[in-house]
Structure 1
Amino acid sequence: MPSPQVITPADKLAEAKQQLNFPRIVAICGSTRFMAEMAEAELRETFAKPAKIVVKPVCDLKSPHELWSDPVEAEALKIRLDELHRRRILLADEVLVVGDYIGDSTRAEIAYARSLGRPVRFTHPEVDPGA
């Protein structure tokens, strides 16, 4: 007798997105030095045909702001934001890496996306660490 097929939470998420007729979701990744380029990529992906839902980093912790002015709080915030971004990648159907530089955090995000089987595109394909 065959064993029952286990339905994972990821399978449930994919099925729900399909049943709700969601557009593709793209997670933008990259160094925060490319925040302006990420905003431009968000516009282009959103206005493409077919349009996509875009999720991306929303702040640059290297730029001054009262929310992360305390160094101890800033380090804890970075950890929380990194985890939140991994959830964006999990939610996404594909990843777009913006910029001509890949740091350690972005490299880890690319590896995570690929471990999930997400297609990864690059605005600068020559920086693909898997190429």
Structure 2
Amino acid sequence: MRFVAEIRATTWELTLAGVVVLAPSEVGVEGESISDEQKAVLDAVQRHRIDLADRVVVVNPGGYVGESTTREIAYARAGGTPVSFTHAL
């Protein structure tokens, strides 16, 4: 997962503002890959987080948005969940 430090900082900031945050899980051991089955489980859990959310905040330093996040944004928007970004695209 990219931008772990930035996600932690954003989570902290939002939590201190009184927002309940459902952040992505930090999984695995650095340098170790996850299996396709594990990735499928993580993707399903993330979609469930999106289903529970009032809005999605994408942490995207430098405007970067990867493939998985792009799919999650599309999923959120298809379900009517507003999406905002920490940095301009």
For the superposition of Structure 1 and Structure 2, which TM-score range results when normalised by the shorter chain? 0.7 to 0.9
Higher strand share goes to which structure? 1
Partner of 2:87: 124
Higher gyration radius (CA): 1
Partner of 1:77: 38
- Unaligned runs of 5+ residues in structure 2 are none
Which runs of 4 or more aligned residues in structure 1 lie more than 2 Å from their structure 2 counterparts after TM superposition?
A: none
Partner of 2:69: 106
Normalization by structure 1: what TM-score? 0.61
Shift of 1:75: 2.1
Normalization by structure 2: what TM-score? 0.87
What CA RMSD, in Å, does the superposition of the two structures yield over aligned residues? Answer: 1.8
For 2:43 and 2:74, locate their aligned partners in 1 and report how far apart those are by CA, in whole Å.
Answer: 14
Shift of 1:108: 0.6
For 2:29 and 2:56, locate their aligned partners in 1 and report how far apart those are by CA, in whole Å.
Answer: 23
Shift of 1:125: 2.3
- Unaligned runs of 5+ residues in structure 1 are 1-31, 127-131
